[in-house]
Structure 1
Amino acid sequence: MRLFFTPRPQKNMLLLFIMGVLLLFPCILCADGERVERKKAELEELKKRISVLQEGLRGSQSRLNREDSVLRDVDMRINDINQNLQDLEKQKSEVLKKMDDLSRSRQQTSRELEREQMVLAEQMRAAYISGNEEYIKLLLNLQDPAIVSRILSYYRYIARDRVETISQINDYLKEMARYEADFVNRSQELESVIEKQKLRWQSLDFAYREQMTAVKRLRNQVSEESGEIIRLQADEQALLKLLKELQTVLEELLEDERSKDSFRDHRGKLSLPVKARISESFGSRRKIGNLRWQGILLHGKSGSKINAVYNGRVVYADWMRGFGLLLIIDHGDGYMSLYGHNESVLVEEGDWVESGQAISTMGMSGGGTRPGLYFEIRHKGKPQDPMRWCRR
């Protein structure tokens, strides 16, 4: 009989494994704890980095908003100067026309004066040649002293009247000369003011370009693709909100201005607002994200006249982020046309405009990189393809 029990090999192995696990368990727990703490530290560090980035982004966006505000002010000042220049040019044209009318009148009067002077000279020459013989002959041939007296008085009256007429013409010419001198002075004054306004415009144009450089630099800092998409979508939503508000007001206030000749009857017959190259088409993909163009973008010469595509009421004429100086015209029945990136606006809110009337000039307001016009047609806020409405 055996006094001791001999374990089987499998039981020995199991026992050794259990003992090893018990010995290693504290180490495993320790390693897991360290891993958890490390992950917590990494998470905190990530939160700090995100916070720093967000703070920097907020600062950049704040600076960008300030720069956008300055850009808006410059755009509006350029618009004011352009309008002032147009008024001055109009005044100058009127003065030059009056000067031209005066010049023609003075030439005609001068010719009349020359004729009168020639007639008077001829009379004086004849009187000088004949001397007193005419008077003697007159006295000898006429027996009635009363008739002689009347004839002599008639001659004296004719001569005196001729001299008086010449004197009046001379006075008139002198007066016209004074008016002409005044108009010349006025024209020179206007020319001086126009030159000063042009210098101001050049100074503002330089400031605009510098501001554009600053804005571009800041936008490069903050305009990562997602941020740019959000900004564009916000601009679109702001425009939609504005259009809805305008539509509500228009339906209430402008009902009596609706014409029997409806905008929708002119589909495919309208002219484009300006003769220029279409660089972006309706519905084409924009350079950022999956956004698409809601209108068309035309590029041309700075200062080109922009015309209304159809008659209607100007319901918006102001600066708007993403669109610059923006004009919106209501055409009735929920149809509106939009004109963005204008350099200057030639009409005011509330004005009634006719089809083909000049309403603005092409520019780069709102951050454009080259002169252009952004053009939309909408029906009850929904974008329409402008090329389905306009002829090329």
Structure 2
Amino acid sequence: MREKRTRLSQTLRASALCTGVFLCLFVGSANANSELEGVSDEIARQQSQLAAHNKKLNALQSDLKTQSKRIDTLSKKTRQAQQTLQQTDVQITRLSKKQARLKQEMIAQQAQLAELIDAQYRQGEHDQLKRLLSQEPPAKLDRLTKYAEVLASTMREAIELLAATRTDYQLTAHQLKQQRDKQASLVAELTEKKQALEREQASQSQTAKKIRAKIASDNAYLAELKANKQRLQEQIAAAARRAQVKMAGIGKAKGKLHWPTQGKLLHRFGERQSGEVSWNGIVIGAKRGTEVKAAHAGKVVLSSWLRGYGLLIAVDHGKGDMTLYGYNQALLKDVGDTVTAGEAIALVGDSGGQSTPSLYFEIRRKGNTTNPIPWLD
């Protein structure tokens, strides 16, 4: 009987132990599943946040692109209006000088005509008849007659010249009025365009500020930089393949290339941009709207907006040599245009999302970036 009770007790203890182990395993498994579900939820939440972040960033970049293109159009129209206004000012100055000269000529011609009239009057209405009836020698009479004829001829010429000068003066006055009216219209147009440009630039600045806030963290900024550089590499490679420019390159022009614009050097080639990413070119701070000039003769192979670089223009110089100009306010040349060294190709701006106007300048040789400084004059 005692042995039976002992075996029963052992059986119960074993059963309880198994039950305890099973319960522990069950509870442990439930906790593990719960933790896995929590991790999965967190991953899903972070992915959702990242997707929302990227969607917002892409939308802002799209807004920046649209605004940059509007600014590009307005800048070029403003520039054209300014150039036309300058030409009009030159015409007004020329016509004003001509008008003043003609006025002086008319005064002189009127004085000369008055003298001729006075001389003729002093001869008298019947002077010729009196001479004929007088006892003057024939030779003297011939001289007096000849004088009268010359005087009459000179008067006719003076009258005709004065009439021509007066007509020229009136025509010049009319042209001057037209140019001044045109000037007033251009000034009004220019003022309107400048105001529209300022509004667009203010909107662009706000968009750029939001973009910078979106990529404020080191990781986000680094990811954006890498993606931008990759996009640029692809665009440049495709443009070079399409263009097939047959020029001599820049190999013999080291130390002689034109500075694309004048200003303070904000970033140097090789300087750390973020993490392991360094600047592939230089950044020159300059006043918005300053002309950007081609460093060397070449052919435009890219002229468009590119994320991170804004309105960008690329000039192929042949032999695998290329110069890039980014952050522009406006692009003055189109793909296919041939440019000379020192020719204006763009205007300085901040279309890439920069906080201040500047120019990004890069030199590529056979696809590889190189320090621009030793190449510039």
Does the TM-score normalized on the shorter chain lie above 0.5? yes
Contact preservation (8 Å) 1:247, 1:380? no
1:285 maps onto 2:282 in alignment: no
1:13 matched residue in structure 2? none
CA drift of 1:278 comes to: 1.9
Match of 2:195 among 185, 196, 199: 199
Contact preservation (8 Å) 1:235, 1:322? yes
1:351 matched residue in structure 2? 337
Tell me how far apart the structure 2 counterparts of residues 388 and 159 of structure 1 sit (CA, whole Å): 75
* Equivalent residue runs for 1:349-388 within 5 Å: 349-388=335-374
C-alpha distance 165-276 of structure 1, shift in aligned 2 (>3 A): closer
1:228 maps onto 2:221 in alignment: yes
Contact preservation (8 Å) 1:284, 1:293? yes
1:321 matched residue in structure 2? 307
Tell me how far apart the structure 1 counterparts of residues 149 and 218 of structure 2 sit (CA, whole Å): 103
CA drift of 1:20 comes to: 6.8
2:343 maps to a residue whose letter is Q
Tell me how far apart the structure 1 counterparts of residues 223 and 212 of structure 2 sit (CA, whole Å): 17
1:267 maps onto 2:254 in alignment: yes
Contact preservation (8 Å) 1:307, 1:359? yes
Match of 1:186 among 162, 182, 185: 182
1:334 maps onto 2:307 in alignment: no
2:328 maps to a residue whose letter is N
1:90 maps onto 2:77 in alignment: no
CA drift of 1:186 comes to: 1.0
Give the secondary structure class of the aligned counterpart of 2:277.
Answer: coil
- Aligned residues: CA RMSD: 2.9
2:124 matched residue in structure 1? 131
Tell me how far apart the structure 1 counterparts of residues 350 and 316 of structure 2 sit (CA, whole Å): 24
How many aligned residue pairs are there? Answer: 369
CA drift of 1:197 comes to: 0.7
Match of 1:209 among 205, 212, 217: 205
Match of 2:97 among 98, 104, 108: 104
Mean Cα deviation higher: 293-302 or 182-191: 293-302
2:159 maps to a residue whose letter is V
* Equivalent residue runs for 1:46-57 within 5 Å: 46-57=39-50
Match of 1:161 among 154, 157, 173: 157
Give the secondary structure class of the aligned counterpart of 2:304.
Answer: strand
2:37 matched residue in structure 1? 44
CA drift of 1:209 comes to: 2.4
CA drift of 1:150 comes to: 6.9
CA drift of 1:370 comes to: 1.0
* Equivalent residue runs for 1:59-70 within 5 Å: 59-70=52-63
Contact preservation (8 Å) 2:71, 2:330? yes
C-alpha distance 137-357 of structure 1, shift in aligned 2 (>3 A): same
CA drift of 1:23 comes to: 4.5
Contact preservation (8 Å) 2:236, 2:302? no
CA drift of 1:136 comes to: 5.1
1:248 maps onto 2:234 in alignment: no
1:70 maps to a residue whose letter is D
Contact preservation (8 Å) 1:75, 1:325? yes
2:131 maps to a residue whose letter is L
CA drift of 1:134 comes to: 4.0
Q: Residues 212-266 of structure 1, C-alpha deviation per residue, up to 9 Å, x if partnerless?
A: 233334x15xx54334323222211111112221222233xx33xx23xx41112
1:192 maps to a residue whose letter is A
Mean Cα deviation higher: 317-326 or 162-171: 162-171
1:72 maps onto 2:65 in alignment: yes
Tell me how far apart the structure 2 counterparts of residues 272 and 165 of structure 1 sit (CA, whole Å): 56
CA drift of 1:29 comes to: 2.9
C-alpha distance 66-18 of structure 1, shift in aligned 2 (>3 A): same
CA drift of 1:132 comes to: 4.5
1:175 matched residue in structure 2? 171
Tell me how far apart the structure 2 counterparts of residues 234 and 21 of structure 1 sit (CA, whole Å): 64
1:5 matched residue in structure 2? none
Q: Residues 177-216 of structure 1, C-alpha deviation per residue, up to 9 Å, x if partnerless?
A: 1111111111111111111111111221222223223333
Give the secondary structure class of the aligned counterpart of 1:279.
Answer: strand
Mean Cα deviation higher: 147-156 or 373-382: 147-156
Q: Provide structure 2 residue ranges, at least 5 long, that are not aligned to the other structure.
A: 1-8
Contact preservation (8 Å) 1:79, 1:343? yes
Tell me how far apart the structure 1 counterparts of residues 313 and 296 of structure 2 sit (CA, whole Å): 13
Q: Residues 265-297 of structure 1, C-alpha deviation per residue, up to 9 Å, x if partnerless?
A: 12233243222222222222223x221211122
1:118 matched residue in structure 2? 111
Give the secondary structure class of the aligned counterpart of 2:205.
Answer: helix
Contact preservation (8 Å) 1:345, 1:361? yes
CA drift of 1:104 comes to: 2.2
Q: Provide structure 1 residue ranges, at least 5 long, that are not aligned to the other structure.
A: 1-15
1:33 matched residue in structure 2? 26
